[in-house]
Amino acid sequence: MMNSTFQDSTRTYGFPPLLCEEPRILILGTLPGGESLEHRQYYYSSSNRIWKVLCHLTGEPMPVDYTQKKALLAKYHIVLWDLPASSLPVEQYLKGCPGSIIGSVCFNRISQSVFSLSTKQVLLRSGLMVSGRPTPLPS
């Protein structure tokens, strides 16, 4: 059973998708880090660069709180979600062999969700690397 920080004694759980009307872009990430879990916000940590990148691409000012961050995403029809739905804590699967990582992750059913939305672009995000070429976002 999950507690208030989306963790239990054996697993860490991701957040539900952060949806908007008429989604056009889906950014898929990995599971939330400790600060994000604690505050229940996607990309909460000040060291996370996603908000700086989105502001650079859109020309928008840096949002100061989560309400402004969600408004930025909605304005540009961006959905945030994590590829994994849950995983063993990092410390547990790092102790095993590399192949044990795959068995420790339960994935979200992204394909069903993407096809039910009008999403036109999907970006996969892992750490500091974003796959896909940055292009101006639709307004």
Active centre residues (catalytic): 48
Residue 22 region, left (φ>0) first, then alpha (ψ -120 to 50), else beta?
Answer: left
Q: Using an 8 Å Cβ cutoff, are 62 and 43 in contact?
A: no
Select from 52, 63, 64 the least CA-distant residue to 128: 52
Element containing residue 121 per DSSP (H, E): strand 121-126
